[in-house]
Structure 1
């Protein structure tokens, strides 16, 4: 679209316009109003806009629709814009007088540049923030004076002098970064172009009275900086600091995603757009707003907590126990192995087994020890917090060691004892509990006074874990004192509905 459509262009036959640039305020009115010309061969007009939103165009025209009132302009505003420049320490009256004389002379280009240089150097000594503020104030004074001088006869030679000087200085200190473009010709190739109809129809304008301000003061275009996507910030921080987000950190993002899923507008957008369009054009802005909304809500909750002692007590009652239990289980996974040994150390989240494969009483391999380890792994997996199983430790917390287990393997010389033991545990879990349980189990080996033992950390499962026993499936649950099985089907269903509500919902949805 040519810039001549902005002002002064008059072509009565103009009936259609294709807009591919952002139009706001008066620029939108001036541009699109070029269509509003009468011609005998002209039956209608239309605009195809690839950039702007219908509501924003309507708001731009609404100011000038109906009766438009322009309030009187403050006659001191021009002097205020000039005085705003004095506080920066860039302008010098003597330099302005000499430079203005040179600007009115002929063949004085070299002298003009030299006369402006001291002010340019003083400008360069300002901070980046002050440079931007001065440049904005300078441009505002030049624009206001240039406009008013066309309609109001000023008889003030000092203002005219300052105008000439400031206009020349503005050209010297123009932001070198403004209008820069990035050439991606060697990096990006356009292969597809998609057009999508976002709005079709006329833009209705309200009646009544509107007000426009002819000249305004202020500090310039105070706009918020471009917001950066949170995922990009996170990726940069992770790359620079070598950090990573935990499952708890991702709850923030999942909560924001849940907000979008419940939003009817987003639901409609999902229906009318394919996945690629939704991902690239709908999701980013809406998701960022959802994240920011979560931040606002979180800060409000924190302030409510700090200001309300009753709320503090209620929250402590709920979360103190939860944090204590989770912190206990987390510590079991990383603490020195000796901290987990001793009398009365077993708990709802910690259990001892002397062996994995060797039955100490029956003096044979297999049987009871494997059954005991299997149900312990299943019970901890079905627990909301998981747990830790130490194998090679007797019931009284003393070290028994894994030598009895190691001796049951016939190929000890070909492979390490620990590898054989770990492979046997893995095969046992796969055959009895299923492949999906393997990622929940992590094993570490330790040595105390020459005796080997294994620390098995079991994460809580996101689904019910059953032990396969012939044609039956057994659901094991961890209690404060032991592992128990739930045999009653109705009771088992109630436990599953409470422990894994999402699993119950999926089964209900899949039912005919």
Structure 2
């Protein structure tokens, strides 16, 4: 990598790297809903995952990031390469990509930025609020064109992706990348390296990262900067172990694999016939997962009934054992999908360096690659974690630092680790906890840098932010309302609004663009401050 950069074959993508810090707090809408013994225990790991996903998909979170992305693109990227510069937004999931696209189009439409258009790239269909979204209906201007070719035109400036195009995509006009996904290992290097292609007039790149720690990114790149050595080798024979493990599950039959692969490698057969060969395996997986989920639900209901009615200790132990067995059975199906993905990734890697004289490995690989996106883990409502009472109470997203992440020269070679274990994971037992306790843990982890001024209740948050200005508060305490409005107070409110624009952009823009609204809002905030001091309110809230 160092030699390629020095000789001008690629650019250093870590030179303009800006990382953001997200801080937030969660709360419950109704405190009585989580009080006393009525609160239900939930699977702690699943709850943390669901809450994290809930925050990531929250409209306010995506809306704030979209505003940062669009404004940064307009200010720093759009004019590069004679107005041909492109940008990529890397999201964590297909649903996230859909919501980014909807929020992106809404923002540029409201701001009148018609010259900035985004395409979204993800595989398959995704359901969202009763609607089905895919690349076709979300990119109507494509008109059947290849996405790579269309993105190279002036029709699109930004590409929103979910896994697709993160690797193996060569677009030299890419000048900026906005990362909202955890990147690790070689995926980190490959993803950010979409920016390193040279192009006439392209002298630098931009990375805005909402998720990853700069030091972690630097460490991943350092492994390949100068000399990388292999400490342990990958064992090609592991592919056979996983091959036999997958066959033993009974989700598919070997005759189905052969029929699919024969059709896949036959140029005379159309691609439309392929799903028919996979359908039986999909139906088996779906049926087993549904039955497993029903067993989990029934066993949990039995355990709750025994606990409620005061059953014997033996009955309770037996019920707990059944719950454990049922959850492990469903966990085996989850592992099947993970093992299928591991098989595809490992075989495609190791087959490039090892000559396997066994066509069955290749057959299973193409079958598994097409089966994976069709497997859906449908969870019954009884197993869902109810987040309807959870709300995002505080939010703060700020750029921490723009820096040149400097790779070290003459550093000791990194030892890369080969793959020595594959498909060896075991289904784990669920650990229970109260949702309110899990919220407290997340707030301790992510809420340490928020203040009352970061409340999403805009007026209350503004009042809290202004209350942090002690000299101004002395004026408010000791002067009548008319004198306060003629003093430093109005300018202090203006400054606080500008400072909090990254929290609630819409209200802040309304305040700054409409003087008559600003006067009313200043009065409302002053009333809240008076109320906090115990002074009589003047006028109506």
TM-score, normalisation: structure 2: 0.35
By relative contact order (CA 8 Å, sep 6+), the higher-ranking structure is: 2
The structure whose Rg is larger is 1
TM-score, normalisation: structure 1: 0.37
